Amino acid sequence: MKNNPLITILKGMVVGGTMLVPGVSGGSMAIILGIYDRLVSSVSSFFKHKRKSLLFLGTFALGGGLGMLFFAKPLMGLIERFPMPMLYFFLGAVAGSIPLILRQAEIKKFTWRVPVYILLGVAVLLLLSLLPTGAFDSEMKAGAASFLFLMVAGFIAAVALVLPGISVSYLLLLMGLYDETMRAIGELYLPFLIPLGIGLLLGIILTTKLLEQVMTKYPQPTYLVILGFMLGSMTEVYPGLPSGWEILLCIGTLAAGFFAIYFLSRNEKTSAEA
pLDDT at 3: 61
Q: pLDDT (tens digit, 9 = 90+) per residue, 132-184?
A: 555 555 455 556 777 888 888 888 888 777 777 676 776 777 677 777 777 77
* Domain that residue 145 falls in: 112-240
Asked if residue 19 is part of any domain, the answer here is no
How many angstroms separate the CA atoms of 189 and 187, rounded? 5
Cα 190 → chain centroid: 25
Asked if residue 103 is part of any domain, the answer here is no
Domains: count for the chain: 1
More confident residue, 46 or 62: 62
What's the average model confidence in pLDDT over 38-53?
Answer: 82
Q: pLDDT (tens digit, 9 = 90+) per residue, 195-216?
A: 888 888 888 888 888 888 888 8
Q: pLDDT (tens digit, 9 = 90+) per residue, 219-252?
A: 889 889 888 887 887 777 788 898 888 899 999 9
Give the residue from 41, 36, 37, 1 showing the smallest Cα distance to 19. 36
Helices (H) and strands (E) in the chain, counts: 14, 0
Asked if residue 144 is part of any domain, the answer here is yes
pLDDT at 150: 84
Asked if residue 201 is part of any domain, the answer here is yes
Dihedral over Cα of 230, 231, 235, 240: its sign = positive
Single-letter amino acid, residue 42: S
Asked if residue 84 is part of any domain, the answer here is no
Asked if residue 128 is part of any domain, the answer here is yes
Burial of 151 (0-12, 13-18, 19+ CB in 10 A): buried
Asked if residue 123 is part of any domain, the answer here is yes
